[in-house]
Each structure stands twice: as structure tokens, then as C-alpha cells.
Amino acid sequence: MLSLVRSKLLNILKIKTMRNITQRSTTTNLCRRLAPACSVAAALFFTLFLSGCEYLDDFDDFGKDKDKNEQEMYEVKLTDLNNSGVTGTATVMYNEEGEFTVLVNAKNLVPSMVHPQHIHGFDMEDKDAVCPPSSAAGQDGLLTLADGLPFYGPVLLPLDDELVPLEVNNFPKASASGSLNYIGVVKTSSLVAAIDAKYEEEQTMEDFKAEERVIVIHGAYVKDNKIVPAGTQGAEYMATLPVACGEVKKMH
């Protein structure tokens, strides 16, 4: 069981991240910023797309107990909103007794700018979050954060540099070429505790309902209610503007 989980994980992450491995300046900065905070298991994920990080292969605890340590894995295909051209992929994985991990790889973002990103959903309700259609935009033709709320719901988990607590900390910055490679890792028990603190009833990871959530990336320059390239005269950077969205799907 352990070898199968490891093989599937490695194949998925290699395919999704090899395109961005050569961007050494971005990856080196991410290694320096994130590596001290990563656990042994998270370090394995870093080596697949962050050059220069040490390989630490320790998945011995995974798969020993099917009920408590079975790895849940989900994938996300990010497509553009507001004709931004932003696309990418994301992976969400966790086990009850281990860690909760989110990987995001996106391109065509505004270079060298901070891009807020979140897991959205309808609290702990049994309701599917979906990516909004272009028709959801207001009369100005621009799909704002508020326009999308009826479709994808409020923020459940900011994908920042800490994940927990659930308040916003530092969001990732796109590289000089407009790509974004992100990894967020936290102990699953810490995430459950944070969710418990936010909602009245005691929660478990089953209540997180990953398949009913979406990931949304934000941030673009706007002029005359349209996304424009960086440096356009008179353009304003709207950090909350949705530029990509993807629904979380169970891997089979």
C-alpha cells in the first residue's frame, strides 16, 4: 500500500510541476522561505518542483492504519476568469493522523505581484461550490469577488504561508515570468482545531467536504472594467479580482 501511494503521488506531482522547475530564482526563494516550516513529509513534496531543497523520504507512517492514515487525494484544474488567461493545476491531500497539504501551480499571472488565493465553499453546509460563469458579472462586465460569492461561497481556508490560523497572513507572489508555485502544509489536527474554533459544532475532516469546494486565485490590473497588462497607463491593481477558479475533484 505504501509503495503504491508513493508512486502515484510522485507521478502526479512530477507531471504537474516539471514545467516550472527551471525557474530557479523563484524556486530558490520559495525553498528559503518555506523549507524551515515544512515537516519531513512536506520536504518530499518540495523536491519534486523546488530545486535545491533536500530530499527527505519518510512516508513510513502512511498507510499503516487504513482508517486513520489513508491518504485522501484531490485534484483541481484551474481555468481563467475575467478573460485573464490564468490557468494551472492544484492538488489537495491529507490524512487524519498526518498532514494537510495544498500544491498550486499557475501561470500567466501578473509578474512579481502578490496573488491572494483561497479554498472557497459554503461553510460546512452540504452545498457544492462551483466556479461562476461569465454571465455572473455585473453590468460593467467585470466579475468581481462579490459577483462570484453566490457560486463559490465565502473563504474557508486562505492559502497563505501558514494555513492555520484561518486569518490571512502572507500570500504568495508570482515570479518575474508570471508563474506561481505554492505549497502549504499543516498538521491535519491543527486544521481541524481551527475549524472547531470557527464553527459551533465539533468538526472532523469529513466535515471539510473537499469535493464541495473550489480554489480561487485573485489579482490583476484593471482599466475600463477590463483586465490589462501590467504597466498600462491608468490601470489599477485589484488584488481581490478573481482571475482563476477550479473545482476540487477526488482522484481515482
- For residue range 140-179, list pLDDT tens digits in order: 999 999 999 999 999 999 999 999 999 888 999 999 999 9
Residue 252 has pLDDT above 90, yes or no: no
Residue type for position 207: D
Segment 107-135 shows an average pLDDT of 92
List, in order of start, the domains of the chain with CATH numbers: 70-250 (2.60.40.200)
Question: What's the number of CA atoms in the CB half-sphere (13 Å) around residue 241?
Answer: 26
* Residue 153 and residue 129 in contact, taking contact as beta carbons nearer than 8 Å: yes
Task: Tally the C-alpha atoms within 13 A of residue 248's C-alpha that lie toward its C-beta.
Answer: 25
- Cite the DSSP H helix spans in 18-49: 24-34, 40-47
Q: Name 237's bridge partners.
A: 221
pTM as predicted: 0.72
Read off the pLDDT of each residue in 212-230 and give the average, rounded to a whole number. 97
pLDDT given at position 214: 97
208 neighbors 123 (Cβ within 8 angstroms):
no
The set of cell numbers assigned to 50 is 523546488
User: Does 51 have pLDDT greater than 50?
Assistant: no
Give yes or no for a contact between 179 and 173, defined as CB atoms under 8 angstroms apart: no
Task: Let me know: does 59 contact 215? Beta carbons within 8 Å.
Answer: no
